[in-house]
């Protein structure tokens, strides 16, 4: 499913005197099959944006009490924000938002804090039960839960009857992800999926996401503030700053704008930093800024061999 966002703006406390923009005129298209990254500071609007994609924040035109403004002759018609995801129109009151939520899964920051059920299997089945239109049989549920738990790299028979609170932090996060992907969403959105994990845990989670991207969810969107994570993993990235969309391009092009990113207060990946230092010394290296490619290019340039 393709995501098409047009003229998306959002204000906090729209009635209060100190209303503040969280999003201003965002236009963005995410194609099916992308591994998309969203970068930005805290407060840049990235989380607000992501919550729109799942209709947790509804567009004004989708609110029950919405009435279109009367347009006087000679005046331009007001432009309402619009979001289309596949065939779903998020600006339409009649859209089945529940069904949409089963197609667009969101894993929030620190998802392990949303676990609640007595056993892992029951917790993973929570979303499945909520979304299914007809009651699922015991076997069907069990099979789907097993598939999801195994997809996140856990041993089904070892964890299914365990309490989710007895698991380790990394395992809890995997269970929480399983609880979202169990409905086979076509689009999977993760808010800071690697937050609070050690480097090894981070790499494992990222590997898991690539596995899911290949086999389970067509589109994966990750929200992050870690440039290295974005440059290593994403096909395309959007940069949010002060409620606006500043850039939207593949990381290999994005980090050519290193200076601008730094003025926005964002870090650039280590590889981009080294490339800049080399450039100062007169050594030009063209790379897509992933570690592997960068090392190879540098070694090519200096005439060594990769080890």
Chain residues binding another protein by CB under 8 A are: 51, 54, 56, 98, 101-102, 105-106, 108, 111, 113-117, 126-127, 130-131, 165, 179-180, 183
Q: How far is the CB of 14 from another protein (least distance, A)?
A: 12
Q: How far is the CB of 229 from another protein (least distance, A)?
A: 22
Q: At its nearest, how many Å lie between another protein and the CB of residue 54?
A: 6
Supply 12's token pair: 């906090």
Whichever of 3 and 106 has its CB closer to another protein, that residue is 106
Cβ nearer to another protein, comparing 105 with 269: 105
Token pair of 135 as six digits? 């009651």
Task: Output the smallest distance, CB 293 to another protein, in A.
Answer: 35
In the complex, least distance from residue 253 CB atom to another protein, rounded to whole angstroms: 32
Nearer to another protein, 98 or 276 (CB): 98
Q: Which of 112, 96, 87, 8 is nearest to 50 (CA)?
A: 8
Q: Is the dihedral of CA 89, 90, 94, 100 positive or negative?
A: positive
* Cα distance between residue 46 and residue 189, in whole Å: 12
Smaller CB separation from another protein, 42 or 306:
42
DSSP H helices in the chain = 46-53, 97-103, 120-131, 138-151, 156-159, 169-181, 199-215, 227-233, 251-254, 258-263, 270-280, 291-302
Nearer to another protein, 17 or 78 (CB): 17
Separation of alpha carbons 60 and 52, rounded Å? 11
Task: Name which of 219, 244, 246 is nearest 85 in CA terms.
Answer: 219
């Amino acid at each position: 499913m393709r995501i098409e966002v047009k003229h998306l703006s959002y204000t906090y406390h729209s009635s209060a005197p100190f209303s503040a923009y969280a999003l201003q005129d965002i236009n963005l298209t995410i194609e099916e099959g992308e591994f998309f990254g969203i970068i930005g500071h805290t407060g840049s609007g990235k989380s607000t944006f992501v919550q729109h994609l799942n209709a947790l924040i509804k567009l004004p035109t989708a609110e029950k009490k919405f009435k279109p403004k009367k347009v006087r002759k000679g005046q331009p018609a007001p432009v309402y924000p619009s979001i289309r995801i596949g065939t779903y129109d998020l600006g339409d009151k009649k859209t089945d938002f529940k069904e949409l939520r089963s197609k667009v899964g969101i894993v929030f920051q620190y998802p392990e804090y949303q676990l609640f059920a007595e056993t892992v299997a029951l917790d993973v089945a929570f979303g499945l039960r909520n979304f299914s239109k007809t009651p699922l049989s015991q076997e069907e549920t069990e099979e789907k839960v097993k598939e999801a738990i195994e997809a996140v790299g856990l041993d089904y028979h070892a964890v299914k009857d365990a309490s989710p609170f007895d698991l380790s932090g990394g395992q809890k996060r995997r269970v929480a992800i399983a609880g979202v992907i169990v409905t086979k969403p076509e689009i999977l959105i993760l808010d800071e999926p690697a937050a609070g994990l050690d480097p090894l845990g981070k790499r494992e989670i990222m590997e898991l996401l690539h596995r899911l991207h290949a086999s389970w969810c067509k589109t994966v969107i990750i929200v992050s503030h870690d440039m290295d994570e974005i440059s290593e993993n994403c096909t395309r990235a959007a940069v949010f700053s002060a409620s606006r969309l500043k850039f939207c391009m593949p990381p290999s092009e994005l980090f050519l704008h290193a200076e601008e990113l730094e003025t926005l207060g964002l870090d650039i990946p280590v590889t981009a930093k080294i490339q800049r230092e080399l450039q100062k010394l007169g050594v030009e290296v063209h790379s897509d800024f992933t570690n592997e490619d960068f090392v190879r290019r540098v070694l090519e340039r200096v005439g060594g061999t990769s080890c």
